[in-house]
A and B are shown apart, each in its own frame.
Chain A
Amino acid sequence: EPEVTQTPSHQVTQMGQEVILRCVPISNHLYFYWYRQILGQKVEFLVSFYNNEISEKSEIFDDQFSVERPDGSNFTLKIRSTKLEDSAMYFCASTEDRLAGDTQYFGPGTRLTVL
């Protein structure tokens, strides 16, 4: 069964460094998302991406964050200058289409630790 994959599974970085989290959505999916889960807290929406542009973003997704689909398969989340509070599990998700109620398929996540 097709699945969303994410790399790396765990990323450790120093505060102020740039990180890029990578996702490979399911191949025929068109709508992509990033969520994060700070330890012990809710899963929070960051951004959605469709047709090579941001469709929606939350208040969390400030100028330090950016997303890109650099080729036909990868979907990346870049954090320009990491802060301690960026430490979290980051989940990528994808849906086949923009249909209402379409299932979002999640990857296994990347655990980001900022020291």
Chain B
Amino acid sequence: AQSVTQLGSHVSVSEGALVLLRCNYSSSVPPYLFWYVQYPNQGLQLLLKYTSAATLVKGINGFEAEFKKSETSFHLTKPSAHMSDAAEYFCAVSPPGSARQLTFGSGTQLTVLP
């Protein structure tokens, strides 16, 4: 069975500061990994995904994530936070193979301070 742990249910950063949102996974085989963002009263939007190609994945809005097998991690980063980045971020995992269900982490609420 797969699982995802997101460390820190709430993260606050100042505008312009580095954003680091942590995600660790548990899986018996290298999974596919995803980061989704949810703005208030909206659905989940894909930021980026890892599907066993390059370990450093670049996504939308300046976000990127690095797959580290040795650490079973897929942390999300952005060099400089913007006020519009304030949202809830979800890490998710799915097993390799055909399109399958996503298992989500508990989410991290990002607050960007002026």
Contact = CB atoms under 8 A, between A and B. Distances in A.
Interface of A: 4, 31, 33, 35, 41-45, 48, 56, 58, 91, 93, 95, 97-109
B100 to A, nearest CB: 7
Interface of B: 32, 34, 36, 41-46, 49, 51-52, 90, 92, 94, 96-107
A91 B100 CA distance: 16
A16 B105 CA distance: 31
Given A4-B43, A100-B32, A45 B102 contact: yes
B87 to A, nearest CB: 14
B101 A45 contact: yes
A43 B90 contact: yes
B105 A100 contact: no
A31 B99 contact: yes
21 contacts: A4-B43, A31-B99, A33-B101, A35-B102, A42-B106, A43-B90, A45-B102, A48-B100, A48-B101, A95-B99, A99-B98, A99-B99, A101-B49, A101-B96, A103-B34, A103-B49, A104-B99, A104-B102, A108-B41, A108-B42, A109-B43
Nearest to B94: A101
A75 B9 CA distance: 33
A100 B99 CA distance: 5
B105 A42 contact: yes
B43 A56 contact: no
Nearest to A33: B101
Contact of A91 (B44, B92, B97, B107): B44
Given A103-B46, A109-B43, A43 B104 contact: yes
B74 to A, nearest CB: 13
A4 B67 CA distance: 29
Instruction: For the complex of A and B, list the 5 residue pairs with the smallest distance between their C-beta atoms, beginning with the closest.
Output: A101-B51, A45-B101, A106-B44, A43-B104, A106-B43
Contacts of A105: 46
A61 B80 CA distance: 42
B98 A98 contact: yes
